[in-house]
Amino acid sequence: MVDAAIVVEGVCKAYGEKRGKWGKGGERGEEARKKALDGLDLCVARGTVQGVLGPNGAGKTTLVRVLSTLLRADSGRVEVAGCDVTSQARAVRFRIGLLGQHAALDEELGGRQNLEMFGRLHHLGARRARVRADELLERFDLADTGRRAVRAYSGGMRRRLDLAASLVTAPEVLFLDEPTTGLDPRGRAEVWAAVRSLVGGGTTVLLTTQYLEEADQLADRVSVVDRGRVIADGTPDELKSRVGGDRIDVVLRDAGQLGAAVALLPLPGDDIRVDVDRRLLSAPVADRMSALSGVVRALEAGGIDAEDVALRRPTLDEVFLHLTGGDDRTSVKEAV
């Protein structure tokens, strides 16, 4: 049996005012409300990172707000760190940390002052708040800049400080709602390193993100959410296996040769995918090395000039598009 830090069962949440039996457009009152969560189920094992992926409006942020007691669900059961979020909301708040999409820092204060302020807001004594601020600055490699005003911090430094602030009380469970949105690759890598160190210390993390690479890098398991429901759940490798096995990608120098390449290559024609804009064709393969050598020989024999030929595993991007119906790539019959 899983030692669960987060349990969500049949949770529903709708927005908008219910206007009697009928809505303005003739729909029933209940249907007129926007459903953000529609019977969502989720179980997160203690000491793991759970990724939550979904398109805009899928219900990710609403889920985090319900889990962190900022919003009450209309129905269903939610437990965090062994406490019910409705009847034991105060106990839940003492056990969690939250990093939202927008920084909660005072930019005129220094990094250390911000952390001391958060400590005092969490009822730490003045001395304990100072000690905890120093511990967190050291942990997140911000000790040398602790006196500097936050307005002078880089994006990655601000986000690391924001993350540190969410850990003032050493929470059992940490909610990260799109923590690296707007950061450059370096800033994103800094936050990733910080999250990895947290999990190494036993913290349970629920991470919502639109960066597929982020979930692949950090999450032990990933739940794909669409229209307020979990439509798939598993490890990144398990989800990738749903899309298929290995693929071979061929990028041509001339998109006009895509049709000829499809006809020549020793690949299953019905499964070849073509992206004309990228001059790319992609197909599943069973025997990696045999397929690679066969494709190279066929291209040379047919006089087709390839810019690149590569074998690859499925990506979480493909899983996401496949599961949410967002795969707009063109089939071979449509393209050539």
Query: Are the beta carbons of 38 and 228 closer than 8 angstroms?
Result: yes
Tokens read off for 114: 């911000």
Using the 8-state DSSP alphabet, how is residue 214 labeled? H
Based on the fold, state whether residues 100 and 172 are members of the same structural domain: yes
Per-residue pLDDT of the chain (336 residues; tens, 9 = 90+): 679 999 999 999 998 866 555 555 555 555 567 899 999 999 999 999 999 998 888 899 999 999 999 999 999 999 999 999 999 999 999 999 998 877 789 999 999 999 999 999 999 999 999 999 999 999 888 999 999 999 999 988 998 999 899 989 889 999 999 888 878 888 888 888 888 888 878 899 999 988 888 888 899 999 999 999 999 999 988 888 877 778 889 999 999 999 888 888 887 766 788 899 999 988 888 788 888 888 899 899 999 999 999 988 777 777 887 787 764 444 333 333
Query: Are the beta carbons of 217 and 253 closer than 8 angstroms?
Result: no
Distance CA 94, CA 75 (A): 23
DSSP string, 159-195: HHHHHHHTTTT--SEEEEESTTTT--HHHHHHHHHHH
Based on the fold, state whether residues 233 and 273 are members of the same structural domain: no
Question: Angle 2-221-164 (CA atoms, 0-180°, nearest 5)?
Answer: 95
Helix (H, G, I), strand (E, B) or coil at 322: helix
Question: Nearest 5°: phi and psi at 191?
Answer: -70, -40
Based on the fold, state whether residues 164 and 260 are members of the same structural domain: no
Question: Angle 70-171-153 (CA atoms, 0-180°, nearest 5)?
Answer: 85
Based on the fold, state whether residues 236 and 137 are members of the same structural domain: yes
Q: Which residues pair with 309 in a beta bridge?
A: 250
- What's the total number of domains in the chain? 2
Question: Nearest 5°: phi and psi at 311?
Answer: -95, 145
pLDDT at 30: 55
Based on the fold, state whether residues 210 and 297 are members of the same structural domain: no
Based on the fold, state whether residues 211 and 255 are members of the same structural domain: no
Distance CA 327, CA 282 (A): 14
Residue 299: give the domain boundaries.
244-335
Q: Which of 216, 241, 266 is the last residue of a domain?
A: 241
Distance CA 176, CA 193 (A): 14
Collect all residues with Cβ–Cβ distance below 8 Å to 319 and sequence separation of at least 6.
212, 224, 232, 239, 240, 242, 243
Tokens read off for 56: 């805009």
CA distances to 48, 117, 241, 323 from 195, in Å = 11, 23, 26, 27
pLDDT at 32: 63
pLDDT at 6: 98
Nearest to 150 by CA among 138, 158, 159: 158
Based on the fold, state whether residues 95 and 167 are members of the same structural domain: yes
Based on the fold, state whether residues 44 and 31 are members of the same structural domain: yes
Distance CA 189, CA 249 (A): 28
Q: Which of 222, 241, 260 is the last residue of a domain?
A: 241
Question: Nearest 5°: phi and psi at 125?
Answer: -70, 165
pLDDT at 95: 94
pLDDT at 23: 55
Four-point Cα dihedral 119, 123, 128, 132, nearest 10: -30
Collect all residues with Cβ–Cβ distance below 8 Å to 212 and sequence separation of at least 6.
53, 315, 316, 317, 319, 320
CATH classification at residue 274: 3.30.70.100
Nearest to 311 by CA among 298, 293, 297, 327: 293
CATH classification at residue 74: 3.40.50.300
In this prediction the pTM is: 0.77
Distance CA 145, CA 235 (A): 38
Helix (H, G, I), strand (E, B) or coil at 260: helix
Based on the fold, state whether residues 165 and 281 are members of the same structural domain: no
Question: Nearest 5°: phi and psi at 151?
Answer: -60, -20
Q: Which of 220, 241, 262 is the last residue of a domain?
A: 241
Based on the fold, state whether residues 223 and 294 are members of the same structural domain: no
Strand order in the sheet with 273-275: 306-312, 247-252, 280-284, 273-275, 330-331
Based on the fold, state whether residues 215 and 177 are members of the same structural domain: yes
Based on the fold, state whether residues 309 and 224 are members of the same structural domain: no
